[in-house]
């Protein structure tokens, strides 16, 4: 077993690690630290989130930095303010006994005047986010022309978030003599492009296989109809006593809505997204780390930089925009040699993406059934009994008072007493009729089940009184639907455009909305009449996707960002 002492670190650096209880380096630390201590070559390091990348680049820098002045020597750039703060705090802990070393964090969401004052006071190491760093460079406050070390942390995330122009502008301000370190969880084409453009003959260290999931994380998925997603989430949470994790949503609005609904249902949840102020984010994260909040509902951007090692679960309420981002989400759990579970809640038409993600992470995503009320009761009662058995008895109740309690319960038989206790604690689950319904959906139901125009009770075929002769095409169908704000988000299945009419398959629960809002409207001077029909929609043009705009027959659906 290799220890930090064997890596050749300075005694002052080692004292800081000893205080933190660091003994054995992680694989990325074990390879990167000796290389950076001995070589001036650039380094590309590939390792999953939560594997200790900060120490891998910070410790060699602290080991070599000259702290006898205020000159900026090391610059670290990362995608989010949370990660920026986390990195700067970690470096300060590592540098506890390194006299004279100063670290400054610069990021958006805080008043720039305080950060300018800190920079003017002098800093040996600056950690920053692209937008704020670029702003400080334009103001001629932050000068990078003499730095010795440049670190690009979570480079793939910065590019995914659209910071390439900022990165190009920032890196052009750094000297060619710098040593550049690029750390990333995935090695995408854009990351390779950055490496080629700004690094010279870089050494590459790769821990594990590129773009795969963490070893300690198992993966599960549930298939439900879109309308049942939140109800399925509640059942899944009820079936996970002691869950402590992050629930990922796609948009800020969805994040806040889901968090509010969970809180109304008495779950310990809180939202984290871009509209939350920095002060509130700090309070939420403090409560989350102390487990006063058990579930953080977050967007991908807001979750970046969250560094908590003992999360039990990551739940994907919706898929990320890019399949590769799933590795970042799932990498939030299964850290520090602990196991974790990543859960996906998917609809039947999203099963293709599950297969795609399996290919990316190199693991099977196991299918699970949404539990019913009886399953949940059994799980919660078993967990409660286990807690009771493991409870350490303390002398909190006097013998005299305990005798009084025993006397009061003397008339109740043991079995009846157990029933009373369970009914008192879990009665709300016994009486929840919703939990009796089967929420599990057939992954093929949308495409394969058709009974007289109704797809397994899920869709209805509508007959539009216009067709090809009137100039209608697939793009026109979606144009009609998108023309009404109240119809956005409707799930559209197969479309068959005949010369005189068009058959469109839509979800049953929204068919009435289509009839109400589109009947009688005009299309190129012709009044539109829509009726429910038993005729088949025939071939597929819509592909069973959710209506979010259409870009053309060959390109398929364009997903709008909300």
Rg (CA), the chain: 29
Tell me the CA distances in angstroms from 94 to 43, 47, 60, 286, 464, one per residue in order.
Answer: 21, 21, 11, 21, 68
Question: pLDDT tens across 21-66, in order?
Answer: 888 888 889 999 999 999 999 999 887 666 788 999 999 999 999 8
Helix (H, G, I), strand (E, B), or coil: what is residue 435?
Answer: helix
pLDDT recorded at residue 184: 82
pLDDT recorded at residue 241: 85
pTM of the model as a whole: 0.56
Question: pLDDT tens across 142-162, in order?
Answer: 999 999 999 999 877 787 777
pLDDT recorded at residue 562: 30
- State how far the Cα of 5 lies from the Cα of 228, in Å rounded to an integer: 54
Task: Enumerate the domain spans of the chain.
Answer: 4-206, 215-443, 446-557
Question: pLDDT tens across 444-489, in order?
Answer: 544 433 333 333 346 788 999 999 999 998 888 888 888 887 787 7
Q: Residues 6 or more apart from 271 whose CB is under 8 A from it?
A: 255, 256, 258, 259, 260, 297, 298
CATH of 4-206, one of 3.10.180.10, 3.30.230.10, 3.40.50.180, 3.40.50.300: 3.40.50.300
Contact status, residue 313 vs residue 341, Cβ threshold 8 Å:
yes
- State how far the Cα of 457 lies from the Cα of 476, in Å rounded to an integer: 27
The CATH topology of domain 215-443 is: Rossmann fold (3.40.50)
Q: Which two tokens stand for residue 342?
A: 């990543």
Same fold, 215-443 and 446-557: no
CATH number of 446-557: 3.30.70.330
Residue 85, burial from CB neighbour count under 10 angstroms (0-12, 13-18, 19+): buried
Consecutive 10-residue averages of pLDDT for the chain (562 residues): 82 91 87 93 82 90 86 92 88 92 91 92 93 94 94 82 85 93 78 81 76 73 92 92 92 92 93 84 89 93 76 94 82 80 92 88 90 81 78 74 82 81 70 69 51 47 91 88 80 86 86 86 88 67 43 35 32
- State how far the Cα of 29 lies from the Cα of 21, in Å rounded to an integer: 15
């Amino acid at each position: 077993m290799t220890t930090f002492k064997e890596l050749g670190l300075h005694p002052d650096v080692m004292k800081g690690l000893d205080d933190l209880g660091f003994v054995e380096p992680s694989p990325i630390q074990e390879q990167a630290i000796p290389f950076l201590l001995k070589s001036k070559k650039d380094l590309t390091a590939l390792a999953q989130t939560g594997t200790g990348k900060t120490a891998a680049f910070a410790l060699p820098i602290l080991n070599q930095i000259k702290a006898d002045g205020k000159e900026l020597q090391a610059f670290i750039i990362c995608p989010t303010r949370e990660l920026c703060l986390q990195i700067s705090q970690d470096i300060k802990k590592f540098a506890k006994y390194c006299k004279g070393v100063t670290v400054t964090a610069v990021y958006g969401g805080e008043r720039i005047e305080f950060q300018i004052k800190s920079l003017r006071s002098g800093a040996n190491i600056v950690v920053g986010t692209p937008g704020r760093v670029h702003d400080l460079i334009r103001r001629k406050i932050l000068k990078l022309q003499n730095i010795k070390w440049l670190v690009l942390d979570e480079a793939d995330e910065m590019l995914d978030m659209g910071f390439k122009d900022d990165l190009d502008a920032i890196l052009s301000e750094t000297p060619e003599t710098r040593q550049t370190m690029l750390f990333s969880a995935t090695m995408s084409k854009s990351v390779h492009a950055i490496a080629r453009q700004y690094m010279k003959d870089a050494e590459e260290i790769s821990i594990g296989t590129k773009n795969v999931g963490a070893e300690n994380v198992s993966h599960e998925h549930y298939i439900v109809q879109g309308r049942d997603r939140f109800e399925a989430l509640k059942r899944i949470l009820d079936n996970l006593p002691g869950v402590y994790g992050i629930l990922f949503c796609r948009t800020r609005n969805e994040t806040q809505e889901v968090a509010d609904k969970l809180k109304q249902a008495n779950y310990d949840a809180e939202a984290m997204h871009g509209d939350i102020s920095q002060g509130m984010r700090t309070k939420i994260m403090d409560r989350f780390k102390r487990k006063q909040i058990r579930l953080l509902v977050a967007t991908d951007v807001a979750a970046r930089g969250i560094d908590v090692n003992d999360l039990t679960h990551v739940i994907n309420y919706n898929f990320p925009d890019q399949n590769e981002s799933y590795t970042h989400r799932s990498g939030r759990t299964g850290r520090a040699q602990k196991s974790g579970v990543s859960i996906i809640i998917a609809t039947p038409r999203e099963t293709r993406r599950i297969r795609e993600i399996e290919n990316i992470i190199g693991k099977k995503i196991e299918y699970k059934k949404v539990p019913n009320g009886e399953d949940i009761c059994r799980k919660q009662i078993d967990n409660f009994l286990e807690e009771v058995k493991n409870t350490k008895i303390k002398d909190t109740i006097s013998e005299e008072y305990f005798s009084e309690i025993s006397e009061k319960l003397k008339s109740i038989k043991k079995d009846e007493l157990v029933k009373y206790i369970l009914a008192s604690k879990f009665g709300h689950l016994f009486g929840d009729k919703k939990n009796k319904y089967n929420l599990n959906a057939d992954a093929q139901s949308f495409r394969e089940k058709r009974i007289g125009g109704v797809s397994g009770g899920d869709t209805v075929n509508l007959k539009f009184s216009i067709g090809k002769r009137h100039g209608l095409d697939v793009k026109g169908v979606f144009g009609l639907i998108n023309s009404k704000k109240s119809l956005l988000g409707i799930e559209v299945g197969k479309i068959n455009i005949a010369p005189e009419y068009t058959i469109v398959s839509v979800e049953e629960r929204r068919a009435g909305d289509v009839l109400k809002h589109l009947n009688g409207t005009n299309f190129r001077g012709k009044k539109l009449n829509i009726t429910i029909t038993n005729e088949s929609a025939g071939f597929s043009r819509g592909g069973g996707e959710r209506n979010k705009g259409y870009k053309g027959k060959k390109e398929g659906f364009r997903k709008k960002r909300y």
